[in-house]
Amino acid sequence: MIQTPESLIVEDAVLTYGKGEFATPALRGVSLTAKPGEVLLIRGPSGSGKTTLLQLMGAMKEPDKGKVSICGTPTTGLSQKRLRAMRLNRIGFVFQFFNLLSSLRAWENIAAPLDIIGMDRGAAEKRAKALLAEFGLADRADHFPKQLSGGQRQRLAVARAIAHDPPVILADEPTAALDTENGQAVAQILRDLAVKEGRIVVLVSHDHRLEPMVDREITIEDGRVVEERGPARPKSNALRSTLSALIEARRAASGDGRGGSGARQEGPRISSLS
């Protein structure tokens, strides 16, 4: 396993929803590390804390106790503005039901978030269309989400998630709404984002079809890690050195000491983290 400061690290995280008699402990001291170049699967029964954990890893929530560090930057104590900047710069989210904007065309769904982070319209459209071509959707650029199949919608959602070139992809049940063929296609895309592009990919899923695609599995129950398995696929030395070079390129290109854009240097950046 490649050791790098660009990992996503959760240390002894505790999070309880509500207070007093309404207190619901969701995480009771979870620690894990997700590394560039690997796919990490988080599994566990309903209510075990998976989504909450993913939200901590995506800077959407902060733990009550413990620490989360995303590619070298701790989230603890950051203002809402900086947490938002961290999400915009470093995280790509993929959801079970795609979360696409129904009134926007496929390319606009990708371009809209680029607009928010300040990319000019022409560049955003170019980037969106290049990603659509990469994901086999070039001829669907002007379609609205309702005109796309489930598999096409999820590919579009993944394209949107990586448009800003984040080093971390977090996916909550990304294949649950898809049939076998489309589920496998999306799983392979997510795997490629880790293995070929040196990103961190973390999946929360009950889908057993994903298992051959993942490097490590963590099972949580009742807010605690109860099992850790992997690596299911030991990496060859050649793959390790390719990955190390990719991760180094991403770090060098980012210029801010974190995992950044190497594979996709045209990707946008916002600078409000400092």
Residues that bind ligand ATP (CB under 6 A): 17-18, 24, 26, 44, 46-52
Q: How far is the CB of 196 from ligand ATP (least distance, A)?
A: 29
Nearer to ligand ATP, 47 or 257 (CB): 47
Nearer to ligand ATP, 42 or 111 (CB): 42
Q: How far is the CB of 14 from ligand ATP (least distance, A)?
A: 12
Nearer to ligand ATP, 48 or 89 (CB): 48
Q: How far is the CB of 173 from ligand ATP (least distance, A)?
A: 8
Nearer to ligand ATP, 52 or 182 (CB): 52
Q: How far is the CB of 41 from ligand ATP (least distance, A)?
A: 13
Nearer to ligand ATP, 5 or 47 (CB): 47
Q: Cβ contacts of residue 56 below 8 Å, gap of 6+?
A: 10, 13, 15, 27, 62, 63, 68, 75
Q: How far is the CB of 67 from ligand ATP (least distance, A)?
A: 19
Q: How far is the CB of 228 from ligand ATP (least distance, A)?
A: 17
Nearer to ligand ATP, 9 or 15 (CB): 15
Which residues are 94's β-sheet partners?
171
